[in-house]
Structure 1
Amino acid sequence: MSDSTNDTSLAADPYGALEKLQGAGRGSLTDAVAEALRGAIVSLAMEPGMMIDKLAVCERMGVSRFPVSAALAKLAAAGLVEVLPQRGTRVMPIVMHDIRQHLFIRSALEVETVRTLASASSDETLLAALDANLDRQRDAVTAGLRREFHTLDLGFHEILLDATGLSRVKEIVAASRSALDRARRLMASPARHAHTLAEHEQIVEAIRTRDAEAAAHAMHRHLDEVIAELRRFASERPDLFRE
């Protein structure tokens, strides 16, 4: 079945993704509310810049104001919401300066990852895993399965990082990827996914032919395209972004 839902569109009810909670203690209730709100923010059900109605959250989730306020405080510390004096709490706009920093981290580590992998002796297990992932990416692009493609995109980069055996590097990249998740979902489109697939194919081909510099260049270009696309999107929807 084709996933025709546009990830960048607002839900008719931004609180619709929140489910009623029951039977949890105060501490675990706060965590559950925070996790539900985090999911709604990252999935863009609650879009950047949206003011959060605490009462609506309380009514939707069947909880008091305390766990909602405590959950929002946790999300503020994580940079997902911000408190505006005398106005309330809103979903944090996407901050371009932060995006650039996280992409800088990813580029430094992932470019070296593919350079190292391409320089090493040919690993048939790695290539088989990458080829299988690319096959599924092609199917997702053809069928318009946006969420599935997003998951496969994450998996593609994880395969590369796992192959290095450097768990700390993978953790750092994962943290930066997580910080970019809202921006990536905003840009999700059939055209962007087709371009991403082509960029992934170039990376794998360079690894297959053991061309370290070509692999590094392909990964660098791939990540550069993310920021270029994001700048284009920000020019169209400046209300969602902050420099």
Structure 2
Amino acid sequence: MRADETEAARPTAAATLERRFNLDRRRPAALQVYEDLRDRILTLDLQPAESLSRPALAAYYTVSQMPVRDAFLKLEAEGLVDVFPQSKTLVARIDVRQARETQFLRTALELEIVSAIAGRGGRDAVVSRARRLLEGQERARDEADLALFADLDRQFHATLYEALDQGALWDLVQARSGHIDRLRKLDLPTPGKIARVLDEHGAILAALEAGDGGAATAAVRTHLSGTLATVDRIAAAHPHYF
């Protein structure tokens, strides 16, 4: 279904929800609605071109329509929803161009980050933290828990940023990563993908342990290029997402 089709052509997301949402009255409602909708878009629980009804979602989240509107505006700024004023709001299709832009930014940052970590003392602590996350990913693989595997993957990379007190840069990358994160979600079940991720994380850590900045940057470049290198295959297998 294309974005110019009517909202009534597909049931709103809230109409198909099976789980309850517990609103935390101590936190801003709009932020919680945004976080939950964003998570459901990135995990593909909400499909591209799916209609999002503001009244139905307000009822589901037990809020007024204003927090839902604010969440829509924030998601629209990230390119994750298409808002048609006075008409409808749809989950956006995957934008490969934006995914490539984000990957360019992230690669540039992480090359500098691992180079800096490799060249400084006291890197054992960050390597140790990242290795524990890698071990957690191995357990998630053994348990076939792809959601946990993906979450630990994000934590692995976040740890590298935090080691240089660059958590704000990680937040910036994450705010722009909605399209490429959905690509990764589609790519992760591909045979051999999880094994490659584990091997590449291991190569990054081995290079950091050795203090070899050149090897660390080469490992990061290889690792971050994987999903977009296969985007044509992903799009061919899942054309309705694009």
Q: Which TM bucket (shorter chain)?
A: 0.7 to 0.9
* C-alpha deviation, 1:66, in angstroms: 5.7
Change beyond 3 A, Cα 1:139–1:72: same
SS at match of 2:83: strand
Distance 1:134 1:76 in 2: 34
TM-score (norm 2): 0.78
Q: Residues 64-92 of structure 1, C-alpha deviation per residue, up to 9 Å, x if partnerless?
A: 65654554344323422113478622101
Alpha carbons of 1:217 and 1:235: their partners in 2 closer, same or farther (altered >3 Å)?
same
Matched, 1:117 2:117: yes
Deviations 1:80-130 (A, max 9, x none): 211347862210111111100100000001012112222334632222222
1:1-243 correspondence to structure 2 within 5 Å: 14-17=16-19, 19=21, 29-54=29-54, 56-58=56-58, 60-61=60-61, 68-69=68-69, 71-84=71-84, 88-121=88-121, 123-177=123-177, 180-189=180-189, 191-241=192-242
Equivalent position amino acid for 1:234 in 2: A
Secondary structure of the 1:172 match is: helix
Shift of 1:136: 1.4
What CA deviation, in whole Å up to 9, does each residue of 1:140-164 have, x standing for no partner?
Answer: 1111111211121111112211222
Using the TM superposition, give the Cα deviation of residue 165 of structure 1 relative to its aligned residue in structure 2, in angstroms: 3.1
CA–CA distance in structure 2, aligned partners of residues 22 and 163 of structure 1: 31
Could you tell me which residue of structure 1 aligns to residue 9 of structure 2? none
Q: Which protein, 1 or 2, shows the higher relative CO under an 8 Å CA cutoff with sep ≥ 6?
A: 1
CA displacement at 1:186 relative to structure 2: 2.9
Q: Which amino acid counterpart does residue 21 of structure 2 have in structure 1?
A: E
Q: Is contact 2:95–2:179 with CA below 8 Å preserved after alignment?
A: no
> Aligned partners of 1:69 and 1:165: how far apart in 2?
34
Cα 1:87–1:188 change in 2 (3 A) is farther
Cα shift at 1:63: 5.6
Deviations 1:162-211 (A, max 9, x none): 22234444443343445633332233326422221111011111112222
Task: State how far apart, in whole Å, the 2-side matches of 1:74 and 1:55 are.
Answer: 18
Change (3 A) 1:93 1:135: same
Corresponding residue number in structure 2 for 1:5:
none
Distance 1:30 1:148, change over 3 A: closer
Contact 2:57 2:68 in 1 (8 A): yes
Q: Work out the number of aligned pairs and report it.
A: 229
- Partners of 1:165 and 1:74 in 2: CA distance: 26
Partners of 1:234 and 1:208 lie apart in 2 by 37
Deviates more, 1:193-202 or 1:126-135: 126-135
CA contact (8 A) 1:17 1:40 kept: no
> Which stretch has the larger CA shift, 59-68 or 158-167?
59-68
Instruction: Give the Cα separation in 2 of the matches to 1:53 and 1:41.
Output: 15
**In 2, Cα distance between equivalents of 1:82 and 1:206:** 42
Verify the 8 A CA contact 1:127 1:204 in the aligned structure 2: yes
Conserved in 1, the CA contact under 8 Å of 2:52 and 2:91?
Answer: yes
**1:34 to 1:156, Cα distance in 2 relative to 1, 3 A:** closer
Cα pair 1:55 1:65 within 8 Å, conserved: yes
Moved more, 58-67 or 188-197: 58-67
d(CA) in 2 for partners of 1:29 and 1:65? 11
Q: Do the aligned partners of 1:103 and 1:176 also contact (CA within 8 Å) in 2?
A: no
